[in-house]
Amino acid sequence: MPGVGSETRATFPGVPESAGRARRFVADALAAAGRAEVAEVAVLLVSELATNAVLHAGTEIEVVVRILPDRLAVEVHDQGGGRAVRRRYSNLSGTGRGLMLVEELARDWGTVVTEAGKFVWFELDLASADARQMNG
């Protein structure tokens, strides 16, 4: 990804509590960078991706936060195989809405399969957040 920015990363065990740790990690990284205006959405989305990684891969996860001039990029790495795929679930289903949220709220998202497993990423537009802050 081009541009000057900052990157921070943290590794968490493959346990359900790691979703909460990932949320706090992302919120802290954004606050430290002065980008708290996107924290609510970023925290929600990383929670969904971290939860999916723990549930489906069951491995240690690594969360990477990149703050670039025009966007925030977050990755959740695991050692599981396959790709994250958005599925269609019934309105009565108690699961399956995480990637729908990512798709709806992120500027872009996807899955990259690597030799070590995969990572699911999303981006949020910081330029729009900057414009909203200036206008409102």
CATH number for position 29: 3.30.565.10
Contact assessment for residue 65 and residue 29, using Cβ atoms and an 8 Å cutoff: yes
What's the average model confidence in pLDDT over 104-128?
93
Report whether pLDDT(7) > 90.
yes
pLDDT value of position 91: 46
Report whether pLDDT(90) > 70.
no
pLDDT value of position 26: 98
Report whether pLDDT(116) > 80.
yes
Any domain includes 85? yes
* Closest-CA residue to 75 (of 86, 61, 60): 61
* Closest-CA residue to 47 (of 35, 59, 55): 55
Any domain includes 1? no
Residues in the chain: 136
pLDDT value of position 3: 47
How many domains does the chain contain in total?
A: 1
C-alpha 85/C-alpha 51 separation (Å) is 14
Any domain includes 73? yes
Calculate what percentage of the chain has a pLDDT beyond 90: 71
Averaged pLDDT score across all residues of the chain? 86
* 65 or 98, which is more confident: 65
Range of the domain at 61: 6-135
> pTM for the complete prediction?
0.84
